[in-house]
Amino acid sequence: MVLDLASVGRANGPHTLEWTERDTLLYAVSVGAGQDPLAELALTTENSEGLAQQVLPSFGVVVGQQVLRPDIGDFDRSKLVHAEQHFELHRPLTASGALAVTARVGAIYDKGSGALVWTETTSVDAATGEPVMTARSASFIRGEGGFGGERGPAAAWDAPARQPDVEVAMPVRPEQALLYRLNGDRNPLHSDPAFAARGGFDRPILHGMCTFGFTCRALVAAAGGDPARLTAMGGRFSAPVWPGDTLTVQVWQDNEDVLFRTLRGDGTVVIDHGRARLAEPGGAAGAGTLAAHAGSARR
């Protein structure tokens, strides 16, 4: 099995992708919203009195992932794991809409034990061409390294030497991966025990992007519950999560940056090197800050 190193720069698209209110409601529930049926109603309903439907920013990444990455060669898909995910929103997402999305292979790095493949997606309004979202994701493919390529850059990240300013704990339902796969990611690693075993897991694991969506919900909560304030988010997937676990997101204000990490129930960090950007409430110019400090919540 050989990766095609010449695939760097290869693009697929643009392809027009549409979504409806049903899709954004399903996405919110699939990343844990609604376990308290009276909380997050703006994310989980479209007809609650006095509330307009809102969309989690991470939903835009799910839309973009429907455009397949250009062919990068032949490899065992059971050896592929989602390694990093980042996005920047140029405007808030709407409950329904359409984007023209292009996916491009950005880089392939040699990590020795495997290859790290970066994919970049650009999404623009299908009607106007206005930029909506830019996203970057990395996949680590075990056993595909050692080809003599560059290792790639390393980004420094350290958690502040103090307690988190905000901490949000969120239970993961036992059937969460089965819900999340209805967004379109039918990778059997998250549903088929035999396929998961070939990947080295004793049972199916939660989608990395489901963990990412849970973390996005926590950051929205830290921003006072307004999804439009979260304009950028990214982090590194560092350990698997299993359905039925509990996730805890720790958030720090670090000058104008927001740093975060996500832990599973045994304390293992599952998303590390987290950085996010908040806008001021109401769309005012300038970098926003957390809605509350030294806070904690359970959602």
Confidence grade of residue 39 (pLDDT, cut at 50, 70, 90): confident
Kindly give, in sequence order, each residue whose CB lies less than 8 Å from that of residue 23, ignoring residues fewer than 6 positions away: 59, 96, 183
Start-to-end CA distance of the chain, whole Å, equals 44
Q: Inform me whether the pLDDT recorded for 293 exceeds 50.
A: no
Indicate which CATH number applies to the domain containing 166: 3.10.129.10
Q: Inform me whether the pLDDT recorded for 168 exceeds 70.
A: yes
Indicate which residue of 190, 226, 245, 273 is catalytic. 190
Domain ranges, residue 197: 5-298
Confidence grade of residue 252 (pLDDT, cut at 50, 70, 90): very high
Domain tally for the chain? 1
How far is C-alpha 2 from the chain's CA centre?
A: 28
Alpha helices by DSSP H, the chain: 21-30, 41-44, 59-64, 176-180, 193-198, 208-222
Contacts 24+ apart (CB under 8 A), 43-48: 43/217, 43/227, 46/21, 46/95
Least confident of 35-39, 209-213, 218-222: 35-39
Q: Inform me whether the pLDDT recorded for 276 exceeds 50.
A: yes
Q: How far is CA 8 from CA 5, 12, 76, 113, 117, in A?
A: 6, 12, 19, 20, 9
Indicate which residue of 23, 110, 165, 185 is catalytic. 185
Global pTM reads: 0.92
Q: Inform me whether the pLDDT recorded for 220 exceeds 70.
A: yes
pLDDT of 299 reads 53
Taking all residues of the chain, what is their mean pLDDT, rounded to a whole number?
93
**185 annotated active-site:** yes
Q: Inform me whether the pLDDT recorded for 291 exceeds 80.
A: no
Residue bearing tokens 């392939």 = 108
pLDDT of 294 reads 40
**190 annotated active-site:** yes
